[in-house]
Each structure stands twice: as structure tokens, then as C-alpha cells.
Amino acid sequence: MVKLTIDGMEVEVPKDTTILEAARTIGKHIPTLCHLKGVNNSGSCRVCVVESGPKLVASCSIVAENGMNIKTNTAKVREARKTVVKLILSDHKRECTTCIRGDNCELQSLSNELNIREVEYDGERLQLGTDDLSPSVSRDPEKCILCGRCINTCAKVQQVNAIGFIERGFDTTVAPPYGKSLDDVFCTNCGQCITACPVGALYEKENIKDVWKAINNPETYVVVQTAPAIRAALGEEFGMPVGTSVTGKMVAALRRLGFDKVFDTDFSADLTIMEEGTELINRLTSGENLPLMTSCCPGWIKYIEHFYPDMLDNLSTCKSPHEMEGALVKSYFAEKMDIKPEKIVTVSIMPCTAKKYEGNREELSNNGLQDIDYVLTTRELAGMIKEAGLDFKNLQDEEFDNPFGESTGAAVIFGVTGGVAEAALRTVFEILSGKELDNVDYTVVRGLEGIKEAAIELPNGITINSIIVHGLGNAKKAMELIKSGEKEYHFIEVMACPGGCVTGGGQPIVSSDYIMGNDIRLQRATAIYSEDEAKLLRKSHKNPYITKIYEEFLEQPNSEISHKYLHTHYIKRHKFWK
């Protein structure tokens, strides 16, 4: 422990605690901008400066020492912070009223907090233009403040390194290698750079106008589906606490927006377990293409296509759940409703920006029609709800439409790391053993450790060695263990985003200040597990509508018709380029 004084108060904190963290222990707020807990503490922006003796030091990167006398609110400190922020604003495209981050911009909040009312520095500004070629992530370098949070997220957390600082001095900017578009390089479209960005320099490629146009077109039948993680985060956009489950209100809002059918991606998550679980059993029996790797996450799929193309045969051939549902809406459902498939517009509400890229993949289509026409993020859905003037918090709960509205608890946990593995194990155990599980909660695969291992012993003597990974940086570690032969597994679950889909690149953006004292991964995951526990059915193979669709259309898991609509293939990509 070390002892220091902060604004006249004696403080005792563990060794290696930063001044910023020490101040938080006594409720003292020091503003930050480039700091992002666990990702970036370079102190480069100098917004968090404090006085330590005669010096101004960056509190986010300087470790507290015995005897320090820290002052956080002197005239010298306040003036330094204001000067720094004004200099940032002098080279910033200040279009706050129309900016996508206008209502939750950390730079704007900081300007208000520091009582900045004018910027007296008037000089040359960079004129760089917008990069909007990627189907997932757009960049506006003129709003970039060079904080480095996106760079370190991509480099340290995801270990993809798709963006970095280029040029020098005044011309320094953040961009992909050689200043290329994100669409031309090895970006996985995960969108974690967006959630790290404190301003509007990075944002999702919006499809709101396209969806409104489809809804307002009397010639189209618009079907929407929502991913499991949406219900655990959407409420945050309307002032509700992080981790509030809003399933019923979400369904009600979607109906009022004008969608013709409101389906649940959870239904096709149950379907995925039937297909992927059968695929796992077949591979365990044959011993071929093990380990089986999950294929639900498009960021992970693009990552392995770029960096481990020699292991594509290990991926499950299953489409992701929302793509399965889109394919069935334009085939099974269209036939049931006597609607021409080309008249149906499928919209997916996803926590993920990589799903936008996925929706455009040629491999995910049938009969010349894409399975999914448009993907909206959680943030985009919130924007539509606000635009429509709906009082979201006071909407009465409503239920999803069937046949694709019924789901089990196994499906909803797809939204959190370990969820796919747990859902699969619930079904695979009962199919292989012929016995009912006494306890369906496989807690061994839960938790927020980056890499979790679990050996699941089945009554018939088979042991399934599993590894559960979240965050692409951890995926890289796991892949290297497998390639080196150091570890052998039967089943691997990978989610590109830390914590899983609950913290996907399309989820509500939470300020770095809130993240300092809270784990949003855990808060949102808690909502997911609570919904699982509340379900009457908690195993995918017990969903009556899943049984029905096999009887009426798909015949059986992994059948020829299942492969036509529910399975796909992958592409070997260049390590560095598109």
C-alpha cells in the first residue's frame, strides 16, 4: 500500500494504483479523454492533468507514490485542461447538431464540463474526407482527436491491427495501412473501434433510410428479427440502467414502427443447435475435421478467413442464426403465407456491425436472393424508435409472432460468451445419452475469462474437450495452441467481441467514465441469464416449432434440404488485403 494526499485528503491505495484511480476511491472525478480502462492509458491527451509539486502530470498514467501531494482543482490545472480541449476543438469538425454522436460525445461533454464557450484558436484544419466504402464501419478523420483508443482496441484487445497512426506532425491521422479504405484491408468489421471512440470519428454504416423505405412500400412485406443481445441493451438508449431486459417493449416498438412480422432470432439459435449439434456428433463419430469451431460470429469468420485459412474446414458449415432465419423466411414462411420471396424484405436487428458485412456475402443467398436484406444495429433501432416518437419506457410488453417467435433459454444465452457452447451441450448430452439433464446450467463454460477450458463427460463414456474464447486477441492465442499441437479440443466457441454479443460493436456506447467503475459485460450478461432461467423450455430440441419445421420442411438436421438453406462455405482471403 502507498499513502498520498489528494486535495488535502489522505489516501491509502494498493501499490501500482494510478493517481486517477486513487482519486476515484475518494469520489474525486478527474476528467479523461484518451483513457479507456484496460485499453489505453498513454496520457497523450493531457486532459487528466493534475499538479504534483511544481509539475503537471497525467493522472491516468502516473502511478501513485508515497508522500505525493496531488492537487486536482487549481487554476493552473483548470487552465491547462481548457487549453488542451480548445486545441483539440480547433482541428475538429464541429457539426455537433447533426453528428451521429451528438447526444453522447465525450468531447462535447468535456467541453461543457470545463465551461468552454469559445475557441480562440483559429488555424488550418485537415481536409481528409470520409471513408464509407466498408459495409460495416465508416470513418470521418476530420472528427478524429488522435486519442488512440480505437488503435489500441484493434491492436491490444483484438490483435488485428487494421488501423493505426499514419503520417507525422500536423498531418498525423488514424487510418488503415497506406491510407487505404477499411473495405480494402483485413478489418474484421467487429466494430470494437466504434465503441472505443469517444467522438463521431467512427460509426456504423447506417441502413435506417433503406428500412423506412421498405416499410413504407406497399408492395413489400417486411419481416424483422432481433438477436438475443438486443434485449439486454436497447433500454440504455432510453435512459434505463445498463443490463435492463426490455424484450416485450422491444417487440411492441417494432410493431409500431410498421414491420409486418416481428420474429425472434432466438428461434433460429435453437435451430442452429440442432444443426451444429448434429454436425458435432457426426464429427465426433468420424473423427474428421476436429475441433469443430462455431460459425455464429461473422467477425470471427472473417478473422479466420484472413489469418488461419488453412483451418476453414474446422468451422461449422452452419450459417449464423439470423441468416438461417432469413433463408427460412424467404422459403418456408413465404410458401406458408403465399407470398413471393422477392416481395419479402428481411431485416435483422443485431448487436454487431460485422453482421452488415455478413448480410452482403454472396455465400449467404438462395435463388438469387440474399437471406438478409438489411442489418440494423441496436443503436440504429433506437434511432428509429426516437424518430417515430415512441415513448419506449412506457410501452406495454408484447409477444413475438410465430412460427419464428418461440424459443428456449438455450437460444437466448447465445448473446453471451459461453452461451453457444452451453446451449449445444444441453442438447448434445441428451441426444447422446438418451437421458434428461438434471441441471441444464453448465456453469463451467460461463464467466469472463478470455479463454475457458471445459471437459464435459457424457454418460456413454465420451468426453468433449471444449474451449470457449471471446475477443479476437484471445482467439489468436487459442488458435496457436491448436496449431502447435499443444492442446487438442473437440469443440471451440469463439465470439469476436469481448464478453460476446452483449458488447458487440453495434450496442449502445457507454462512456469511458462509466466503464472505469462498472463491467458492462457482466451487467448485460446477467440480464441474458435471467431470461434463460425464466423460460419454461431451456433446451433447443424441446422447442415445438423446431420439431414442426423439421416435420414440414427440413426433414432432419443436416439433411440435404437443411444444407441448402441453413449451411454455407467460406473463403480463403489474403492475410493483409481484402
pLDDT confidence of residue 322: 97
**What is the average per-residue pLDDT within 134-139?**
96
Residue 501 is a catalytic residue: yes
For residues 189 and 357, the answer to whether their CB atoms sit within 8 Å is yes
Are residues 222 and 269 both part of a single domain? yes
The amino acid at residue 526 is T
Residue 430 is a catalytic residue: no
- Active-site annotation holder among 142, 305, 358, 493: 358
- The tally of domains found in the chain comes to 3
Residue 261's domain comprises 209-566
Residue 59 is a catalytic residue: no
Are residues 322 and 187 both part of a single domain? no
Instruction: Give this prediction's pTM.
Output: 0.94
Alpha helices in 450-543 (DSSP H): 472-483, 512-517, 520-534
pLDDT at 125 > cutoff 90: no
Are residues 112 and 231 both part of a single domain? no
Are residues 275 and 169 both part of a single domain? no
SS (H, E, C) 160-196: CCCCEEECCHHHCEEECHHHCCHHHECCCCCCHHHHH
Q: Tell me if 82 is assigned to some domain.
A: no
* Spatial distance between the Cα atoms of 183 and 388, rounded to a whole number of angstroms: 32
Are residues 414 and 550 both part of a single domain? yes
CATH, residue 48: 3.10.20.740
- Active-site annotation holder among 144, 197, 352, 501: 501
554 vs 388, 471, 549, 563, 566, CA distance in Å? 39, 34, 6, 9, 9
Domain stop point among 155, 176, 204: 204
pLDDT at 532 > cutoff 90: yes
- Active-site annotation holder among 296, 297, 318, 497: 296
Residue 279 is a catalytic residue: yes
Domain stop point among 151, 178, 204: 204
CATH, residue 98: 3.30.70.20
Q: What angle do CA 374, 419, 227 make, to 5 degrees?
A: 20
pLDDT confidence of residue 438: 79
Q: Tell me if 574 is assigned to some domain.
A: no
pLDDT at 459 > cutoff 80: no
Residue 296 is a catalytic residue: yes
- Active-site annotation holder among 167, 335, 363, 480: 363
Q: Tell me if 486 is assigned to some domain.
A: yes
* Spatial distance between the Cα atoms of 384 and 527, rounded to a whole number of angstroms: 24
For residues 349 and 378, the answer to whether their CB atoms sit within 8 Å is yes
- Residue whose grid cell is 459485460: 521
Is the alpha carbon torsion for 464, 468, 474, 476 positive or negative? positive
pLDDT at 285 > cutoff 90: no
Domain stop point among 14, 46, 73: 73
Are residues 188 and 259 both part of a single domain? no
Share of the chain above pLDDT 90, in %: 85
447 secondary structure, DSSP code: S
Q: Tell me if 412 is assigned to some domain.
A: yes
Are residues 500 and 525 both part of a single domain? yes
Residue 276 is a catalytic residue: yes
- Active-site annotation holder among 52, 136, 268, 316: 316
Using pLDDT thresholds of 50, 70 and 90, give the confidence band for residue 464.
confident
Using pLDDT thresholds of 50, 70 and 90, give the confidence band for residue 123.
confident
Are residues 252 and 353 both part of a single domain? yes
**What is the average per-residue pLDDT within 109-120?**
94
φ and ψ of 573, to 5 deg: -115, 160
Q: Which of 27-31, 119-123, 294-298 has the lowest mean pLDDT?
A: 119-123
Are residues 49 and 98 both part of a single domain? no
417 secondary structure, DSSP code: T
Q: Tell me if 573 is assigned to some domain.
A: no
pLDDT confidence of residue 443: 86
Using pLDDT thresholds of 50, 70 and 90, give the confidence band for residue 563.
very high
User: 5: which 3 cell numbers?
Assistant: 494526499
pLDDT confidence of residue 432: 80
Are residues 505 and 531 both part of a single domain? yes
- Active-site annotation holder among 236, 276, 305, 430: 276
